[in-house]
């Protein structure tokens, strides 16, 4: 199989990282933070080391709180439900994933919050000035997708962060696609809260992710239960990370994430250079297909762009293109709306969606050439 669906989840994973994590998990055995005996203390120290690695890799400020979750969707729900209340106003964009859109829609219906969605330009970018124009005295947060999972475009977060800092408004960043793929400097960019997932460019296992919060950003808990501390308290503890981590955390998954973080930190620059080269090769090859039936989106320039290429073949449903690529060429891609329906509405692909090629650290030149040849045959 030629795997070109890394924006959904990265594959293959660095197997040695997961083996080391499993060995450490089996050797320790205890539950983190659930006891004062040596093994439990050791397990908690292992988890804390991963928290520190996450904060370091993503440029978090000193004293930042790293709270683990099941994935970025879980983290964004925790953040949005814990931050917003009746009468609040949020500015977001039409590039967002359903992990932002659906919690906001829920709060619009249940609490009456107000949401403004800033459009993106034909190249796939959001103008920071357009975001500033929507800010009001009631704006409680700006929530933005750092890099689009449909278009691959990387948004100007530093400029948006400067605007938010000037107005005293928290900037929340969904870094699902960007974390591990490109450098992130949370503190320098003025980001108050950042959601990440472990199973994409961080090359970790599924079921891992979380939030990094500035020390001055407090969230109300939206889940309640065991925390391992302050058990006499009838309410969820105020102390972080227990405030947002109800129940036993995914110890094995977090150890796997910790191992993959070290691998990514070592190789991210080299991986990024290869992925940019292969993305250019893919775009040039698809653009050279002579049929005139194949259309690419937001690929006119590839600066500030992840290794994601989305296209349609006129006259053929995207699901059929994906089925042909899979069945006839053993090429795995993602088709449809990619959990980002507003992007497709604005692209004019809101019905059948589009075909997305997403490259990863282990994509080869042969993989790209095979995809170009296959699309040329389909387009003809």
pLDDT in tens, 319-361: 999 999 999 999 999 999 999 999 999 999 999 999 999 999 9
- Single pTM value for the model: 0.96
pLDDT, position 291: 79
pLDDT in tens, 81-123: 999 999 999 999 999 999 999 999 999 999 999 999 999 999 9
Secondary element (H or E) of residue 65: strand 65-69
Query: Domain-by-domain residue ranges, the chain?
Result: 2-8+268-379, 15-262
pLDDT in tens, 217-227: 999 999 898 87
Q: Do domains 2-8+268-379 and 15-262 have the same CATH topology?
A: no
Residue 154 β-bridge partners: 147
- Chain position carrying tokens 């959601």: 195
Alpha helices in 126-250 (DSSP H): 128-134, 157-167
- Pick the residue with more confidence: 290 or 228? 290
| 3 state SS of 59 | coil
pLDDT in tens, 277-318: 999 999 999 999 987 899 999 999 999 999 999 999 999 999
Let me know: does 80 contact 143? Beta carbons within 8 Å.
Answer: yes
Per-residue confidence band for 237, with pLDDT thresholds at 50, 70 and 90? confident
Burial 165-174 (b: 16+ CB within 10 A, else e): eeeebbbbbb
Full DSSP string of 105-158: HHHHHHH--EEEEE---TTS---HHHHHHH--TTEEEEEEESB-TTT-BBP-HH
Question: What is the mean predicted confidence (pLDDT) over 254-266?
Answer: 98
pLDDT in tens, 139-190: 999 999 999 999 999 999 999 999 999 999 999 999 999 999 999 999 999 9
Domain 15-262 coded CATH 3.40.640.10: yes
Q: What contacts 327, CB < 8 A, 6 or more positions away?
A: none
Q: What contacts 152, CB < 8 A, 6 or more positions away?
A: 124, 177, 279, 298, 305, 306, 307, 308, 309, 310, 358
Please identify, in words, the CATH class of the domain defined by 2-8+268-379. Answer: alpha beta
| 3 state SS of 32 | coil
| Terminal Cα distance for the chain, rounded | 23
Question: What is the mean predicted confidence (pLDDT) over 109-138?
Answer: 97
């Amino acid at each position: 199989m030629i795997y070109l669906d890394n924006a959904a989840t990265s594959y293959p994973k660095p197997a040695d990282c997961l083996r080391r994590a499993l060995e450490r998990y089996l050797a320790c055995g205890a539950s983190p933070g659930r006891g004062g005996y040596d093994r439990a203390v050791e397990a908690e120290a292992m988890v804390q080391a991963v928290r520190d690695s996450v904060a370091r890799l993503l440029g978090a400020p000193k004293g930042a709180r790293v709270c683990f979750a099941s994935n970025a969707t879980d983290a964004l729900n925790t953040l949005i439900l814990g931050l917003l209340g009746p009468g609040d106003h949020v500015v977001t964009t039409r590039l967002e994933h359903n992990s932002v859109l659906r919690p906001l829609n829920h709060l619009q219906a249940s609490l009456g919050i107000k949401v403004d969605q800033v459009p993106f330009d034909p190249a796939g970018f959001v103008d920071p000035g357009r975001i500033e124009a929507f800010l009001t005295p009631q704006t409680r947060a700006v929530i933005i997708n750092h890099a689009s999972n449909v278009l691959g475009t990387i948004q100007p977060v530093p400029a948006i962060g400067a605007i938010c800092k000037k107005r005293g408004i928290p900037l929340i960043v969904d870094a699902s696609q960007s974390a591990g793929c490109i450098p992130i400097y949370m503190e320098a960019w003025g980001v108050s809260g950042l959601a990440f997932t472990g199973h994409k460019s961080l090359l970790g296992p599924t079921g891992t992710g979380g939030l990094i919060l500035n020390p001055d950003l407090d969230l109300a808990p939206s889940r309640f239960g065991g925390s391992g501390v302050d058990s006499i308290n009838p309410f969820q503890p105020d102390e972080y990370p227990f405030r947002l981590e109800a129940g036993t955390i995914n110890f094995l998954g977090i150890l796997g994430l910790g191992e993959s973080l070290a691998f990514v930190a070592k190789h991210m620059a080299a991986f990024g250079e290869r992925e940019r080269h292969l993305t250019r090769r893919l775009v040039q090859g698809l653009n050279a297909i002579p049929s005139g039936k194949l259309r690419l989106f937001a690929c006119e320039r590839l600066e500030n762009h992840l290794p994601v290429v989305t296209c349609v073949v006129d006259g053929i449903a995207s699901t059929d293109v994906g089925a042909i690529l899979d069945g006839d060429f053993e090429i795995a891609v993602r088709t449809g709306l990619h959990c980002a329906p507003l992007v497709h509405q604005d692209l004019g692909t809101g019905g059948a969606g589009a075909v997305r090629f997403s490259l990863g650290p282990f994509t080869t030149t042969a993989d790209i050439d095979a995809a170009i040849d296959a699309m040329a045959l389909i387009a003809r």
